[in-house]
């Protein structure tokens, strides 16, 4: 994140907090890093990481397609003008609506179980998702390629499902694998891609190998790319990838203001954002970098606590900060992926505004609000029972 501190203060002042801010330059840089590592692989952004339409448009303009896992995500892809080869329809339990709109948009389906062959619209293009049955280096909830996980077909079933697709008149493009998210160790990918490549003897050549996403922010992208290409070449296939977090995490920062502090055995820095704005620390024990945007020499160790009536509502623990005062501004980093996307209206809290930083963008200003702050009325708009 390269947004200058004065610009962060200005945005918090102008748009209020909590506020998600995104650095357009960092978004572009992340895509450039992916392209540098993966070369001509086709990139499908897993929009679950951050489905904001402005970010989708920016990625689409750069030639990126979308991996979608719900009717709503498909609607977003359509809303930014994606179609045909730019859309993947994925998911372990797709609804009828997803088959219908996927077919209308000419999307490629990722088949997650054999029964789906009979559910696909006629003459679909499809990949078969394979579960390589591997333990990987991430939080249990984020591992999707373990033997006990609900995703994909087994290595033994995969060749048969490809055959079944062909037999049913579909185009069996190839295989798909996604072993989990925030994976730290590139060896996990080596193992997964290796297991797939062993299927070559049974499947013969394939048009596509989709190596999924899941790259931790500090993972060795070039190493992962090398292994993915090796597996793709084993099938004489083109390589597709589906990064989510890697493309958007570092571009995003959650700005939150200090409400006050207290010392009760532990030191709590109380802020105006919490589990409703950024759930990852509470849900996965995720650690996001915290930066104090105020000066001070009197450093202490603080827990960053949100406003919710739940003890787990902590954004970070044991952070070294100068003594916070009411009104001070805190930046929670690496929050562009699965931050705003997983924000909720629990406690009838309005989801935050989101703003994009791009110095001198079209209208000559540095900031564009790309999602306005939700209002209480937005939240109850679908309910009966109001007087006005």
The residue among 235 and 338 lying less far from ligand LLP, judged by its C-beta, is 338
**Does 280 appear as a known binding residue?**
yes
Q: Which is nearer to ligand LLP, 244 or 324 (CB)?
A: 244
Give the separation between CA 34 and CA 370, rounded to whole angstroms: 24
Q: Give the Cα separation of 17 and 308 in Å (integer).
A: 16
For ligand LLP, the closer of residues 195 and 280 by Cβ is 280
Active site (annotated) includes residue 299: no
Known binder of ligand: residue 166?
Answer: no
Which residues make up the interface to ligand LLP (CB under 6 A)? 46, 48-49, 67, 90, 142, 178, 181-182, 212-215, 242-246, 280, 284, 337-338
Q: How far is the CB of 295 from ligand LLP (least distance, A)?
A: 32
Q: Is 243 annotated as a binding residue?
A: yes
Q: Which two tokens stand for residue 296?
A: 């001070």
Other C-beta atoms lying within 10 Å of the C-beta of residue 288: 19
338 annotated binding-site participant: yes
Least distance CB 177 / ligand LLP (angstroms) = 9
Please answer whether residues 356 and 252 qualify as being in contact, where contact means their C-beta atoms are separated by less than 8 angstroms: no
Mapped onto helix, strand or coil, the DSSP state of residue 89 is: strand
Residue 16 is assigned to a ligand binding site:
no
* Residue nearer to ligand LLP on the CB measure, 152 or 324: 152
| Residue 39 Cβ vs ligand LLP, minimum distance, rounded to whole Å | 18
Residue 242 marked ligand-binding = yes
Place of tokens 């339409």: 53
Euclidean distance between CA atoms 301 and 29, whole angstroms: 33
Q: Which is nearer to ligand LLP, 132 or 214 (CB)?
A: 214
Between 253 and 267, CB nearer to ligand LLP: 253
- C-alpha to C-alpha distance for 286 and 184, rounded to whole angstroms: 13
Minimum CB separation of residue 88 from ligand LLP in Å reads 8
Contacts of 270 (CB under 8 A, 6+ apart): 258, 259, 260, 261, 262, 305, 306, 307
Structural contact between residues 128 and 161, judged by C-beta atoms closer than 8 angstroms? yes
Task: Please name the residue that has the structure tokens 């992208």.
Answer: 221
Residues 151 and 130: their CA atoms lie apart, in Å, by 8
179 Rama sector, left if φ>0, alpha if ψ -120 to 50, beta otherwise: alpha
Integer Cα distance of 356 and 62 in angstroms = 17
Least distance (Å) between residue 161 CB and ligand LLP: 17
3-state helix, strand, coil in the chain (%, to 5): 35, 25, 40
Q: How many Cβ atoms sit within 10 Å of the Cβ of residue 23?
A: 21
To ligand LLP, the closest distance from the beta carbon of 311 in angstroms equals: 21
Q: Positive or negative, the Cα torsion across 98, 104, 105, 111? A: positive
Closest to 76 measured CA to CA, from 92, 91, 60: 60
Nearer to ligand LLP, 18 or 324 (CB): 18
Q: How far is the CB of 247 from ligand LLP (least distance, A)?
A: 8
The string of DSSP letters for 108-157 reads EEEE-SGGGGGTSPTT-EEEEEB------SS-GGGB-SSTTSSSSB-TTT
Annotation-wise, does 244 bind a ligand?
yes
Q: Give the residue numbers of the binding site.
A: 214, 242-245, 280, 284, 310, 338
Catalytic residues: 309
- Residue set of the binding site for pyridoxal 5'-phosphate: 214, 242-245, 338
- Could you list the residues known to form a binding site for substrate, using ranges: 245, 280, 284, 310, 338
């Amino acid at each position: 994140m390269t947004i200058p501190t004065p610009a962060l203060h200005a945005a918090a002042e102008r748009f209020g907090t909590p506020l998600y801010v995104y650095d357009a330059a960092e978004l572009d840089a992340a895509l450039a890093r992916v392209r540098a590592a993966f070369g001509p692989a086709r990139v499908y952004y897993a929009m679950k990481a951050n489905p904001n339409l402005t970010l989708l448009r920016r990625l689409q303009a750069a030639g990126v397609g979308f991996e979608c896992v719900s009717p709503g995500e498909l609607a977003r892809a359509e809303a930014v003008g994606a179609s045909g080869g730019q859309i993947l329809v994925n998911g372990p339990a797709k609804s009828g609506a997803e088959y219908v709109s996927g077919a209308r948009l000419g999307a490629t389906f990722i088949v997650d179980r054999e029964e789906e062959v009979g559910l696909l619209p006629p003459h679909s293009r499809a990949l078969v998702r394979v579960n390589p049955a591997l333990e990987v280096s991430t939080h249990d909830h984020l591992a999707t390629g373990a033997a006990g996980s609900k995703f994909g077909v087994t290595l033994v079933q995969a060749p048969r499902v490809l055959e079944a697709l062909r037999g049913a008149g579909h185009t069996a493009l190839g295989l798909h694998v996604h072993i989990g998210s925030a994976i730290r160790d590139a060896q996990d990918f080596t193992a997964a891609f290796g297991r797939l490549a062993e299927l070559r003897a049974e499947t013969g050549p394939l048009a596509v190998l989709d190596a999924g996403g899941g790259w931790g922010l500090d993972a060795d992208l070039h190493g992962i790319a090398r292994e993915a290409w090796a597996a793709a070449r084993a099938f004489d296939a083109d390589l597709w990838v589906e990064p989510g977090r890697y493309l958007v995490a570092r571009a995003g920062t959650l700005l939150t203001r200090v409400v006050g502090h207290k010392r009760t055995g532990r030191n709590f820095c109380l802020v105006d954002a919490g589990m409703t704005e950024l759930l990852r620390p509470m849900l996965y024990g995720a650690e996001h970098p915290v930066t104090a945007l105020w000066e001070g020499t009197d450093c202490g160790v603080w827990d960053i606590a949100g406003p919710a009536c739940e003890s787990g509502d902590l954004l970070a623990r044991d952070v070294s900060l100068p003594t916070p005062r009411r009104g001070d501004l805190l930046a929670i980093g690496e929050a562009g992926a699965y931050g705003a996307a997983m924000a909720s209206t629990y406690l009838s809290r309005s989801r935050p505004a989101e703003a994009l930083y791009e110095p001198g963008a079209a209208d000559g200003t540095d900031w564009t609000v790309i999602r306005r702050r939700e209002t209480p009325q937005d939240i109850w708009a679908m309910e009966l029972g109001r007087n006005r």
